[in-house]
A and B are shown apart, each in its own frame.
Chain A
Amino acid sequence: MKVERRSLSRLALPIKAFGDRFALVALIALSIALLILSRAEVGWLQVVGGRIVDTAVPVLEVLRTPLDASERLTRAIGEWISVYEDNTRLREQNRRLLEWQSLARQLANENQALREVVGMDAEAARPTVVAARIVADTGGPFVHTALVDAGSHHGVAEGMAAVNDRGLVGRVIDVGGRSARLLLLTDLNSRIPVMVEPSRDQAILAGDNSRQPGLMFLPLSPRLSIGDRVVSSGRGGVLPPGLEVGVVRTIAEDKVGVATAVDWDRLEYVRLLEYARVLPPEILAIEQREAFGPPLPPGFQPSASVPSDDAIEAMSGGPEP
C-alpha cells in the first residue's frame, strides 16, 4: 500500500509541477490579453465588470458599517470638544444668513415675476433626484471614481450629475442594477462645461487627478480673478446649469486651478440629478420606435381614411382668396 502511494506521488508531482507552470504562463498571457481588450473597450468585458461590481456592493456596504460608526464617534467627540466655539461661529453665521435669506426671497420673487413676463416654465427645469450612498472609492493614483449603492433599479441613468449639499461631485459613467460608478470632478478623464461668475466666461473644467482641477478652453482674454465662483454652464445638455462647482484658487500661465466646493474628506451621500437627457441618435431611434411603432416604409402614401389637403380645403369652402 505504502509503495503504491509513493509511486503514485512520484507520478503526480511532475504533473502537478507542469500544471502549475502552465497555469502561470497561461494566466500571465490572459492578463496581457485582458489589458489589450480593455483598451479596445470590448462590450462583454464591461458587462462582466459590471456584474462583479453589482455583487460586491452589498458586501462593501456591510463592511463600511463599523468604519462609519467609528468615524461618527470620532467626529462626535471632536464636536463636543469644540461646541462653544462652534456655537459662537454659528450664531454669527446665522445672523449673516438671515440677511442673505431676505435678499434671496426678494430675488426669487423678482425672478418668478420676470419668468412670468417672458412665459418661461420654471417647473420644466426641475431635475429628477435619486439619493445614494458612496460605498467604495478607488482613491488610487490612477482613477478617481466612486461606487454608489443605487443603480438602474432605482432610476439611475448614465450621465446623471452627482451633487451633495456643497455642490457638484461628478457624474454617472456606468450603471448596474444595484450600483453605479461616478466619475469624480478630479479624475483625469472628467470634463465639465462650466461658467465663471461674474464675467460669465465659458470654459471646460478638466480634472488632472489632483484635488484642484483646471479650467481649459477659456476665451482669449478671460476676465478672471481669484475667488470667482465657478458653476456648471449646462452646455451639452447633460448637466443642469447653475450647479456650484467651486472657486478660482490659482491663476498661472499653464493652469487656472479651481478649488472644488465639495469637501472630499466628508463625502458620504450624493444626490443624482437627471436633467434633460441628451440621447445618442441610435438610442433615440429605438425609443421612438418603442413609442410610435416601426418607421414608415419608403414611398408610403396616407390611406383614404386620412383626409387629404384638397378634401380639407373643399370642406372649408375652398382656399381663401
Chain B
Amino acid sequence: MTLGWFRHLDAQFRCFLPAITAVLALLIDQIPIPGEGVGRTGPLALLCVVTFWSIYRPDLLPVPAVFAAGFVTDALAGLPLGLTSLTLILIRMVVVGQQRFFVARSFPVVWACFGVMATAAILFRWLLMSIWAGHVFRFTPSLFELLATFVAYPLVSLALGWIHNRVPRFIYAP
C-alpha cells in the first residue's frame, strides 16, 4: 500500500520533469553567457526544449505550460508580453501535427527539421516584433540567435533524452 503510494508520487513527479526543464531553460536564457558579457545574443534554449517535448511527449508539456513559459520569458526579457508565447505555441502546433513523422526519423533528420522550424520561429518573432515596434530591426543578431540555437539543439537534446528515459511512458495510477 505504502510502496504503491510512493511509486505513484514518484511517477507524478517524473511527469513534471518536462515542465521543470522548460522553467530551467527560460531562466538560463536570461543569464549572460560566461565570457560573452552583457548584451550578446545567445541560443534560445526554451525553443529547443519546447520542440523536443512536442516531438516525444507533448502530453507532458501542454499548450498552457508552453504559453506560461513564453509569458515569463517575455516578462523577464522586457519584451512585449505574448511575443514568445505566440511563437512557441505555433511551433508546438506544427511539431505535434507532424509528430508521427518526427518520432520515426533518425537524429540528423530531426535536427535538420529543427533547423527549418527554428528559422521559421525566429523569422516570425523578428517580423512580429518589427510590426509591434514599428521599426525594422537588423536581422544579423536574429541570425546569430538562430545559428546558436541550431548548434545548441544536439546538446539540449542529449540532456533531455536522458530525462526522457526517466519519464513514465504512461501516467501511472495505483
**Which A residues are closer than 8 A to B by beta carbons?**
20, 23-24, 27-28, 30-35, 37-39, 45, 48-49, 52-53, 56, 59-60, 63-64, 67-68, 70-71, 74, 134-147, 174, 181, 184, 186, 188, 209-211, 263-267
Contacts and interface: CB of A to CB of B under 8 A. Distances in A.
Given A35-B82, A38-B82, A137 B39 contact: yes
26 contacts: A20-B63, A23-B62, A27-B63, A27-B85, A31-B70, A31-B82, A34-B82, A35-B81, A39-B80, A45-B81, A48-B75, A59-B27, A63-B27, A71-B35, A134-B32, A137-B32, A137-B38, A138-B78, A139-B33, A140-B145, A141-B141, A141-B144, A142-B137, A264-B38, A264-B40, A267-B37
B78 A181 contact: yes
Interface of B: 27-28, 30-42, 62-64, 67, 70-72, 74-83, 85-86, 89-90, 93, 126, 128-129, 132-133, 135, 137-139, 141-142, 144-145
Contacts of B33: 139
Given A27-B63, A141-B41, 6 more contacts: A30-B67, A67-B34, A137-B30, A139-B40, A141-B139, A264-B37
A174 B76 CA distance: 12
A186 B145 CA distance: 18
Nearest to A57: B76
A119 B89 CA distance: 65
Contacts of A60: 27, 30-31
Contact of A35 (B77, B83, B93): B83
Contacts of A209: 137-138, 141
Given A24-B63, A30-B67, A188-B135, A136 B81 contact: no
A144 B32 CA distance: 12
A136 B79 CA distance: 14
A53 B139 CA distance: 28
B31 A184 contact: no
Given A24-B93, A138-B78, A186 B30 contact: no
Given A28-B89, A67-B34, A142 B129 contact: yes
Contacts of B40: 139, 264
A267 B35 CA distance: 10
A23 B81 contact: no
Nearest to A23: B63
Contacts of B76: 52-53, 56, 136, 138, 147
Contact of B36 (A33, A45, A145, A265): A265
Contacts of A146: 38
B41 A70 contact: no
Contact of A138 (B30, B82, B90): B30
Contacts of B39: 137, 139, 144, 184, 186, 211, 264
Contacts of B80: 34-35, 38-39
A65 B126 CA distance: 32
